[in-house]
Amino acid sequence: MSKGHTLSHDIAVALRTDILRQRYQSGDRLPSERDLAVRFSASRGAVREAISQLEQLGLIQVQPGGARVQPLEAASIAILGPMLGLDEQPSVDLVDQFLQTFGALVSLTTREAVAKATPEEHQRMLTALAELKKYRGDFSSTEAQSNWLQFLEYLTTVSNNLVVKLIGNDLRAQFIGQMLKSGMKPALSKATVSSILKRLDVAIKDSDKNAASRVITEYFDELRLASSQALESRQAG
C-alpha cells in the first residue's frame, strides 16, 4: 500500500490505470469482487470501496452482475491528470487539447475582466503587467511563471464568473502538476512574449475587451505550438 493511501485507493488507482491503458475496454465487465479481492490480497469491502471511487470518476457503471467499463467520454474531468501521467512523456494531442480548452476559458475570462473592472482593478492589472515586463519575455524561471499565473488568477477574480473559475481551477489542478513532473518547459520567443504583454497593456488601458481577449488567444496559440515542439523533440530524443 502506498504511504498515506488506503488499500481501497491503491486498488482504485491500479484499476483506473488498467482502464486508461485499455486493458479493460469500454463495455467490458470488471472481474468480480471476489476475483479482485484475490488479485489485490484485500477484503471485498476494500474492493467495493475502490469500485465506488471508479464509479464516481465515471469510468465504470455498477450494474446487476458487475461493474461495466464506460467510454472515456463519459468520465469526469478528474481523469485528465492520470491520463497525462500514464507515460513518462504526456500525450502531445492531450496537452494540445488542454491548452486549447484552457486558453479559450482564459480568453473569455480576460474579456469579462476588462469589461467589468473598476478603475482600481484596471490599475492593478497594469501594475501586474509592468512586473511581468521586467522579465523581458523570458518566462523560463519559476518566479516568472508564478507571476504570470497569479495575473491570470486575478483576471478570473475580477471576471466574477463562478462557473468558469471552477472549471479553470479543476483544469489547472489536473494539468500543472503533471507538467511539472514531466519537466516540460515550452520555449516561447522573448520577442513574442514581449509583444503580447505590450499589446495586452494597451488593450487594458483602452478598456478594449475584444483586443485583450484576442491577445490572450494568441498567447495560448503560441504556447500550444511551443509545447507540441518541446514534447515531439523529447520523444524524438
Task: Judge whether 53 and 92 are in contact, CB under 8 Å.
Answer: no
Are 174 and 91 in the same domain? Answer: yes
pLDDT in tens, the chain (237 residues): 444 469 999 999 999 999 999 999 999 999 999 999 999 999 999 999 999 999 999 999 998 888 999 999 999 988 988 998 888 788 889 889 989 999 999 999 999 999 999 999 999 999 999 999 888 878 777 788 888 889 999 999 999 998 888 888 888 777 776 776 666 677 788 899 999 999 999 999 999 999 999 999 999 999 999 888 888 887 776
Of residues 199, 124, 134, the one with CA closest to residue 158: 124
The Cα diameter of the chain in Å comes to 66
Our CA dihedral for 226, 228, 229, 231, rounded to 10 degrees, sits at: 120
| Same domain as 87, residue 66 | no
DSSP class of residue 30 equals P
pTM for this one?
0.83
Strand, coil or helix: what is 86?
coil
Q: Which of 17, 220, 13 is nearest to 108 (CA)?
A: 220
Say how far apart CA 7 and CA 9 lie, in whole Å.
5
Among 40, 75, 110, the domain boundary falls at: 75
Residue located via cell numbers 486493458:
23
> Residue 131 falls within a domain, yes or no?
yes
DSSP assignment of 64-126: TTEEEEPPGGGS-GGGHHHHHTSSSS--HHHHHHHHHHHHHHHHHHHHHHHHH--HHHHHHHH
127: containing domain: 79-236
The verdict on residue 123 lying in a domain is yes
194 shares a domain with 137: yes
DSSP H helical segments within 21-91, as ranges? 33-39, 44-56, 80-84
Domains: count for the chain:
2
Looking at 75, 105, 132, which one is the last position of a domain?
75
